[in-house]
Chains A and B, each alone.
Chain A
Amino acid sequence: MSVTTEQVRKTLARRYRAEKRFKFFGICAISIGLLALLLLFTDIIGKGYRAFYEYSVSLQITFDPETLGIDDPRDPEQLQYGNYEGVVRNALQARFPGVEEREDKRALSALVSTAAGYRLRAMLEESPELLGQTRTLWLQLNDDADMYMKTSEAKRETARLSDRQQAWMQELEQGNEVRAGFNHSLFTRGDSREPEQAGILGAILGSLFTMLVTLALSFPIGVAAAVYLEEFAPKNRFTDFIEVNINNLAAVPSIIFGLLGLAVFIGLFGMPRSVPLVGGLVLTLMTLPTIIISSRAAIKAVPPSIRQAAMGLGASKMQVVLQFVLPLALPGMLTGGIIGMAQALGETAPLLMIGMVAFIVELPTGALDAATVLPVQVFLWASSPEQSFVTMTSAAIMVLMTFLITMNTLAVVMRKRLERRW
């Protein structure tokens, strides 16, 4: 055995140890990444699942004309000013007859959401014959009482209810007078200061209008730009300049696009604040580079033989591109478009700049109504101190993530199904 071989043999064990160590670091790195993903998701789901159901309390509601101050339920004026809270208060006091003190009475009626009043009014409006009758109704609890029900028994002393209120809740719970049900208002209402009445429908509609504007503009413009750069642009300085610009824009921080929107669309053009139209325009500029880059890749993937065959048959350059190259490149372009849309749907910072952070209760009906979008709603709720809003925030995140994951999965499936390998 030569000296060299001897030397190599001696170091072999050390080198193998180094090899194992290196591999171990790799596994660690992957695990950290996956662990972070797992933590993020369990944290959000663990916090948010409770927002999808809500507790209501069973009460004997008497539509007493005297308390309500209504003698003709067909009169809209009377209906509007009826004392519905009083009816709920009476029902609660009938349930807990021992409560005498003013303060205790107030604490008692605070258990039921103010939304109960609106519901009674809607019922009375729909069927006026209810006046004077008594019905057993399930009424929504206030957010603090709702959170109390949702926390497990061991942690309940931290809830924001007084001892007295907790005792009442326990009594109701033991009598099976509270029950959990699906939280409809989460998906049917706009924002509200009261957590139990707040919903994400307003934000979802705002996101929808914003995305429609973005899609209608960014996809055609992006594809057209990609076609020009890939098929028609002469090789010169100016084309290079455009390319450098596109690549740089793809890496410009999104907040800068917000500044652009604020200064140009709102400051210069005088467009209104907080509307999906302006949000859509800003997001269009932001997603364009992504769409252009992926569309160019899709066009590039179409083999030159197709172009040559079409040209050989006498098609003009434009005919070749529009009738042969584009249809073949379309799946790839759509994939890029979906990814761009997903990016735009999750974007928050530029929309803060153009004022889409306003507190808006009404549901938007078009791209020119003031609105907020889903990620901004998450941001707004995350800064509210109430425990219920933390749950709501997580629930909104879950809905947002569902949309995003669906879009991304769709993109992956489309890439696999439709994209042709040449």
Chain B
Amino acid sequence: MQTGQLLLILAAMIVTAFIMGRHRALQVAQPLGGIRHLRSLPFYYAMRSAIWCALPALTVLVAWLIFDQTLIRIMVLDSLPTELQPVDGTARNLMLSQIGNVASGALPTDFVDAAVANAAGRLNQLQSISAMAMAVVVIVLAMLGGAWAWLRVSARMPAREQVERVLLVVFMLCAVLAVVTTVGIVFSVLFESIRFFGQVPIADFLFGLNWSPQMALRADQVASEGAFGAVPLFAGTLLISAIALMVAVPVGLMSAIYLAEYAHSKVRSFAKPALEVLAGVPTVVYGFFAALTVAPFIRDVGQSLGLSVASESALAAGLVMGIMLIPFVSSLSDDVITAVPRAMRDASLGLGATRSETIKKVIFPAALPGIMGGILLAASRAIGETMIVVMAAGLAANLTANPLQAVTTITVQIVTLLTGDQEFDSAKTLAAFALGLMLFITTLLMNVVALHIVKKYREQYE
């Protein structure tokens, strides 16, 4: 039976449980003299039945769907004779996909070992058993739950309290999902990183000056010394981010100041949403713009000045990333500037200071912590930005501070290492997770500090 059909049946059962629960509550109330003698409204009895019907069944269904494939795979592999047992992870995946192909009929049985054909038969058999068993278990559970709730309906039962308690737990679980996500991120990058550092010493990774993961593909050079030195990537990331911030911070900050302090309300009502459009442009569009318009332009200008500019220069990627960050910096600074109390502004103006003096000597110092927090957030964005650099920055890891040359970044390398041929165990794939760990730690620290500063700042004037 298909999972979709099962879900439909389950939904029908839940609705039935709801209606029957309500009916039962009314029935119970009848001899007592109306629903006012019930402890809760009939609706809550109905909800209680529906919850009893749905919750156990759905929990089992989800768990089943998540784990059944893994279990089936283990069982299928166990059924293979010892001489066919895969030795490592890659062989295991190959064997599994071969069995899967035979089982689905994509690969004729006479092309493979008889044992593999048997395993494929076993796979099909297990799949259908699993699907059947899942359907039976889920439906029986739903029936039992619904029946139990139906039987238990009584005038004295606190149905509302019970329903509300379940809802509260569901709400809490939703909130806890944020923590689960963070934990999931930490563990998914940490585990693979630890495996990576088992193959490549951590010091080589952090301080090595040579990054060439492609070399490590050859068997005699696996994790050869220096191939995974990430310093050029860190330097490239910093270079591009620095260029981006050099564009975004002055422009964004000055726009925010102008819009908040000088601009006519008409200009403001036009320019502010226009700048916000820049924030809504997908990064892949910026990447396209950088790679096909800005980079060739910079190269042509450079050539006419007699400079040698790489066609994937750090300058192009950085400039466009800066444009992307302008609205980000400007809206954060705008919040901070408008939060400075009116009284401080008026006092300064009243003493005869010009507007610009007021801004520079009163508002800016008062807003500085908030602005710093905003810049830090922008920097963390620049470091983690992916598509612009994937499309406009280079792949070769050059250790250089020259913005006219091609550099590569952490995010570019993560993308190149993970899209392409994938084996889960090679140092190449694992290196992406190690880079991801570095990226996560760096941005996390920056965010924590920045959010702390911004929060502190807000409290100061509230």
Contact = CB atoms under 8 A, between A and B. Distances in A.
Interface stretch (B13-21, B48-56, B444-452): B444-452
Nearest to A232: B168
Contacts of A316: 160, 164
Given A252-B444, A253-B384, A263-B188, A346 B283 contact: yes
Contact of A259 (B250, B391, B424, B432): B432
Given A23-B258, A23-B356, A348 B387 contact: yes
A124 interface: no
B175 A318 contact: no
A288 B170 CA distance: 16
Given A29-B250, A249-B178, A252-B443, A34 B275 contact: yes
Interface in A139-189: none
A404 B280 contact: yes
A252 B277 CA distance: 22
Nearest to B67: A269
B391 A269 contact: no
Contacts of B418: 259, 262, 352-353
Contacts, number: 275
B179 A254 contact: no
Contacts of B419: 352-353, 355, 357
B380 interface: yes
A27 B436 CA distance: 40
A230 B45 CA distance: 27
Contacts of A29: 250-255, 258
B354 A19 contact: yes
A123 interface: no
Contact of B330 (A33, A228, A233, A376): A33
A15 B439 contact: no
A263 B433 contact: yes
Name A's interface SS. helix
Interface in A314-337: 316-318
A180 to B, nearest CB: 24
Interface string B239-266: 0000000000011111101110011000
27 contacts: A22-B359, A29-B254, A30-B258, A30-B263, A30-B275, A33-B323, A225-B171, A233-B175, A245-B182, A249-B182, A251-B450, A252-B447, A253-B383, A253-B411, A255-B384, A255-B386, A255-B415, A256-B440, A259-B185, A262-B418, A269-B69, A318-B168, A346-B280, A349-B390, A353-B415, A393-B288, A405-B277
Interface of B: 66, 69-70, 73, 160, 164, 167-168, 170-172, 174-179, 181-182, 184-185, 188-189, 191-192, 250-255, 257-259, 262-263, 271, 273-275, 277-278, 280-289, 291-293, 323, 326-327, 330, 352, 354-357, 359-360, 377, 380-381, 383-387, 390-391, 411, 414-415, 418-419, 424, 432-433, 436, 439-440, 443-444, 447-448, 450-451
9 pairs of A and B residues whose beta carbons are closest in the complex: A253-B384, A26-B258, A346-B282, A263-B188, A29-B254, A22-B356, A349-B386, A228-B171, A224-B174
Given A248-B451, A253-B383, A401-B285, 10 more contacts: A18-B354, A26-B258, A30-B259, A47-B292, A225-B177, A233-B172, A317-B164, A349-B411, A352-B418, A400-B285
Interface of A: 8, 15-16, 18-19, 21-23, 25-30, 32-34, 36-37, 40, 43-44, 47, 220-222, 224-225, 227-229, 232-233, 241-242, 244-249, 251-257, 259-260, 262-264, 267, 269-270, 285, 288-289, 292, 316-318, 342, 345-349, 352-353, 355, 357, 375-376, 378-379, 382-383, 390, 393-394, 397, 400-401, 404-405, 408, 412
